[in-house]
Structure 1
Amino acid sequence: MNRWKPLIALGAAQFLVVLDTSVMNVSISQLVADFDTTVTAIQGVITVYTLVMAAFLITGGKVGDLLGRRRAFGVGLVVYGVGSALTAIAPTLGVLVLGWSIIEGLGGALVLPALAALVGGNYTGRDRAVAYGVIGGLAGAGIAVGPLLGGWVTTYLTWRLVFAGEVVVVVAILAVLGWIKEVPATAPHRGFDVVGAALSVVGLALVVLGVLQSSTWGWLQPRNPPITVLGFSPTPFVIAAGLVVLALFRRWQRHRETRGRDPLIRWELFDIPPLRSALYTLTSQNLILLGLFFTIPLYLQVVQGLNAFETGLRLLPVSVTMLLTSMSAPALGRIASPRQVVRVGLLVLFVATLWLTAAVRPELDDLSFGLAMAVLGIGMGLLAGQLGNVAQSSVGEADRSEVGGLQYTAQNFGSSLGTALIGSILITALTKAAQAGLAADPRISDAVRAQVGTALDAGINFLSTEQVRAALTAAQVSPAEVDALVGTYAVAQLQGLKVALLAAAAIALLSFLATRGLPSARPPAPEPVGTAPSPPVTTPARVQDQSL
């Protein structure tokens, strides 16, 4: 039991950091009421949190190299706890942004890379595979349990208690920090790369911002943006600017290496096929997962009219099966290679997403929907139980914190991209379906058709049919035409949801291309507990740990 004590502390931190976003997503309505603001403003708060996390994770990994991973982990937890406390008592929206989006985001950017390196440094062989399986499962559990916990607390108590509880958990983890074996600082002390850190933050922030805002601005054709660029939406220009900054960041890293200075990222890491494939697949996994966790709650809450707690209950099967499947990683490793397991996981994801597409109906079939969600959790668990271990075991001890930063950057970028891309596809499909239904329905007069068509061209939100009916009635549309338009919109809702889910299924299939570099052989027999790890094998690209 003693050997699993570090995993208890590290797993609690992983669950804590992932829990936040899913709790906030189901608390939006209450936050709007409490701060007397708009849904758009609360979505902005969530966006800033994602931006801070994605932009500072690489820098957070390098800080862990310089300070030592356990020390960086502890400092990050303190920062995170301060942000949680401030969020719990936030009197205004600005304080909420400061506490949750910025301070908690910065704390998480320190915690996550150090956490990944500490798991690799505290375990070897099969124990390491078990540890990464548990960490991956707890990440999925945080995503899935967040709506259930947040929905219940928000519905029956107050969302502030979630963040107050986080402070208690942070204090508890800090109290047992000694359970975790220190992984010493390994980076050469030749100056922290301030310019590289700034370039990486700005570049990643611009890319993530552009992707996140695509559903609001539009991808090419502007959709009521504050500005246009050469008649187009700002989205491609913001993303392109981010890519240019990231290209400058890469040139700067090469420049520092030629000068004998310590770079923020060693680009030779990307020459390691298992690591490269693990990062690509982690991005795809989180793109699919967060895309689905954006789409499915819309179906349950907006179309079916369920409250936050009822929605969380329907998401629970994902958490249970994902956690159990992730923890089975060592057993699977005895009969299949990581590449085979990941490919099976992607295939299961594809099947589960198709099943969910069929389950999106006017009337909710709880049995079919619940089984589809359980299968989805199995697919996610197969990926989560492998990819973290592959990423960390593909490098030597000195690079684990840096790889942890890359690993969680890939995950957060995938999460941001999933919400934005799948959300944009959903809104576009909804608009096109509504326009087609509007043009084909003879019950709608030309005047009303023109009025509603103009509103559709300007961009619409995913609203409930009751909200649509109320808006049309307030606009003094005749009752017969209101019924026709509401019926058209209800059909368009389901079509938009199905197209978004099919897009996620297509991404699962395309992700097979990212798996070619994953290890194709089963790992060696586990090392006896308490012995030193096997000597590393030197490759032309990097020193690689063969303890997969």
Structure 2
Amino acid sequence: MSTPSSKTPCTLWLPLFILCLAQFLASADNVTLSIATGSLMRELNASMTQISAANTLYPLVAGTFMIAGGMLGSVIGWLKTFRIGCLIYLVAELCATLSPSITVFIWIARLLAGVGGSFMIPSVFGLLTGLYHGKQRAVAFGALGAASGISFALGPIVCGALLDMVGWRWAFGALGGVLVVILCCSLIINEPAKHNAPVRFDFPGLILSTAGLFLLIFGVLQISSWGFITPFNPAIHFLGMSPAPFLILSGLVVIHFMLRWERVCERKTGSAMIPKAFLHTPQVRTGLYLTGYIFFAYSAGIFVVVSFVQIVAGLTAIGTGLLIVPFAITLAGCSLGLPVLIRQRRPRRQCRIGLMLGVLGAIVASSGISEEHFSVPRVVLGLCFIGASMGTIASNAPFLVTSALPDKEARQSGGIQAAARDVGQAMGVALVSMVMLTMLTIGMKDKVVNAPVSKQTRDALQHLAVVPYLNDPQFTLFMHQAGALKNDLPVLTQTYRQSRAQVTRAGLYAMALLTLLFLWPTRAIPLAEREENIARTE
């Protein structure tokens, strides 16, 4: 097999484009689902509960099997695993296109998409690690981060246009066509050289990691629906509390036993689902934390902003995509530009600057939120800072992981990095939505005590387990159905507007505060890593 240095620019970088296209497709698939909500409800008679299940199933299934997908690539080959994942994903898109009911859409199409993603995404990391080395690897991972950034902006615009012009079925069908292109073009990708030592698949580790990650991710995803301590839905509780923390704790316990088993398995067979190098190397652990942060920042920041601009301000899907375009450009520019332009890497400084940019972005974006409107310049500037934060971290985190590991473990790290991304994404939405709903509920109940409304309206609000995040007409209808008097609704709605703006800003403040926590592990990142030191990975 030819070495990277002997390849032409076309044969060297064309495989990277194909792998980035696969990353783009996975993000675009989730974007298409998120903006097809209205169409699915109209044409398949789906309820909001079913739509929520469809949105939850992909990250739940994909995150659950990511680590197993990473090890499978080491056993049967990364290119074969990549093609299997693309093929399963293609079947998923076809099932989505032809779904006769929401049940088929959820439990066949979205389930298969999650399985396909758990094969495809770790293989992208494994192939990049095996095909590119040194400076080229840093650029390749930067390009992968840029592909994610581009999909965040172009996804709503392109998919929204498809939905408006030809319908949601053709939108998913178009994604299936992209997968056919990826599968055909995968013929030009070379399989990285295999290691001499055979890798045995860890079946007990598969069972334990699957169970542990399922409980952990499912528990995190349900925080926004069930609450974290006090149950949002009184009908769903355990010992008077929300079941979410118990699921999360159970998942962490199972993962703890899985890690103990992995030590035994690696000592006996030389292979493990999570090799000890991942746990005993501080730089690797930090790289995984920061990998989780990238998607934590995206899901938290974008969730808060998009919730306000669409639900409150009434911005369309395409309009939202246009609002996010500067964010995506900044993310892509920093992710790809830093490894290309900077010859002397200072990863610790870059990562810390990146995290502080995320804090700044959250604060700036929050300053642009008012009761019913938002300042486009401030929100866009805040999102650009968040995009620069994500891009800066994305240009460093994967390389921090792979450069600190032996080559075999570096290739296998794709599944663990992808699992860290899914956990980070789930935590971002869950934590900020929990903060927003909890503060909105408490704030409204406190304010209504002194508000000039009747006792019946006050009691109706006090008896609510949770006050949802709605626009003004939806809130008015919600409170009327809850028992509030019609004459009290104008005062109640004005109070709600104030509380809604406050909790929107609080969601961004929560993101900023949690971002600061990621600064602590950066102590394990090298101060500087010159280009000649990067070349040691070749």
Provide TM-score, normalisation by structure 2: 0.93
1:136 Cα offset (Å): 0.7
Q: Partner residue of 2:509? A: 502
Q: Which amino acid aligns with 2:239?
A: L
1:3-57 Cα deviation digits (max 9, x unpaired)? 2111111111111112222222222222222221211211111111111111101
Instruction: For 1:137 and 1:122, locate their aligned partners in 2 and report how far apart those are by CA, in whole Å.
Output: 19
Query: Is 2:423 aligned against 1:398?
Result: no
1:179 Cα offset (Å): 2.4
1:503 Cα offset (Å): 0.3
Instruction: For 1:200 and 1:18, locate their aligned partners in 2 and report how far apart those are by CA, in whole Å.
Output: 24
Query: Is 2:518 aligned against 1:511?
Result: yes
1:223 Cα offset (Å): 2.2
Query: Percent identity at matched positions?
Result: 29
Instruction: For 2:344 and 2:33, locate their aligned partners in 1 and report how far apart those are by CA, in whole Å.
Output: 40
Instruction: For 2:296 and 2:196, locate their aligned partners in 1 and report how far apart those are by CA, in whole Å.
Output: 32
Contact persistence 1:217–1:233 (CA under 8 A): yes
Which residues of 2 match residues 163-178 of structure 1 at below 5 A? 163-178=172-187
Q: Which amino acid aligns with 1:247?
A: H
1:473 Cα offset (Å): 4.7
Contact persistence 1:129–1:329 (CA under 8 A): no
Q: Partner residue of 2:386? A: 376
Contact persistence 1:121–1:183 (CA under 8 A): yes
Instruction: For 1:133 and 1:111, locate their aligned partners in 2 and report how far apart those are by CA, in whole Å.
Output: 18
Instruction: For 1:268 and 1:7, locate their aligned partners in 2 and report how far apart those are by CA, in whole Å.
Output: 27
Q: Give the total of aligned pairs.
A: 528
Instruction: For 2:179 and 2:289, locate their aligned partners in 1 and report how far apart those are by CA, in whole Å.
Output: 31
Q: Partner residue of 1:420? A: 430
Q: Which amino acid aligns with 1:253?
A: E
Query: Is 2:232 aligned against 1:223?
Result: yes
Contact persistence 1:392–1:404 (CA under 8 A): no
Which of residues 16, 26, 31 is equivalent to 1:7? 16
Which residues of 2 match residues 325-344 of structure 1 at below 5 A? 325-331=334-340, 333-344=342-353
Query: Is 2:51 aligned against 1:42?
Result: yes
1:351 Cα offset (Å): 0.7
Contact persistence 2:90–2:176 (CA under 8 A): yes
Query: Is 2:79 aligned against 1:70?
Result: yes
Q: 1:370 to 1:259 in 2, by over 3 A?
A: closer
Instruction: For 2:243 and 2:321, locate their aligned partners in 1 and report how far apart those are by CA, in whole Å.
Output: 35
Query: Is 2:399 aligned against 1:389?
Result: yes
Aligned partner of residue 453 in structure 2, secondary structure: coil
Q: Partner residue of 1:267? A: 276
Instruction: For 2:136 and 2:449, locate their aligned partners in 1 and report how far apart those are by CA, in whole Å.
Output: 61
Provide TM-score, normalisation by structure 1: 0.92
Q: Which amino acid aligns with 1:114?
A: S
Query: Is 2:475 aligned against 1:461?
Result: no
Which residues of 2 match residues 24-173 of structure 1 at below 5 A? 24-173=33-182
Which of residues 242, 255, 259 is equivalent to 1:233? 242
Contact persistence 1:19–1:146 (CA under 8 A): yes
Aligned partner of residue 74 in structure 1, secondary structure: helix
1:491-540 Cα deviation digits (max 9, x unpaired)? 1111111111100011121111121222221332499xxxxx64xxxxxx
Instruction: For 1:514 and 1:477, locate their aligned partners in 2 and report how far apart those are by CA, in whole Å.
Output: 50
Instruction: For 1:98 and 1:111, locate their aligned partners in 2 and report how far apart those are by CA, in whole Å.
Output: 20
Q: Which of 406-415 and 175-184 deviates more?
A: 175-184
Q: 1:475 to 1:265 in 2, by over 3 A?
A: closer
Instruction: For 1:425 and 1:50, locate their aligned partners in 2 and report how far apart those are by CA, in whole Å.
Output: 21
Query: Is 2:388 aligned against 1:352?
Result: no
Q: 1:471 to 1:230 in 2, by over 3 A?
A: closer
Instruction: For 1:7 and 1:17, locate their aligned partners in 2 and report how far apart those are by CA, in whole Å.
Output: 16
Which consecutive residues of structure 2, in runs of 5 or more, have no partner in the other structure?
Answer: 1-8
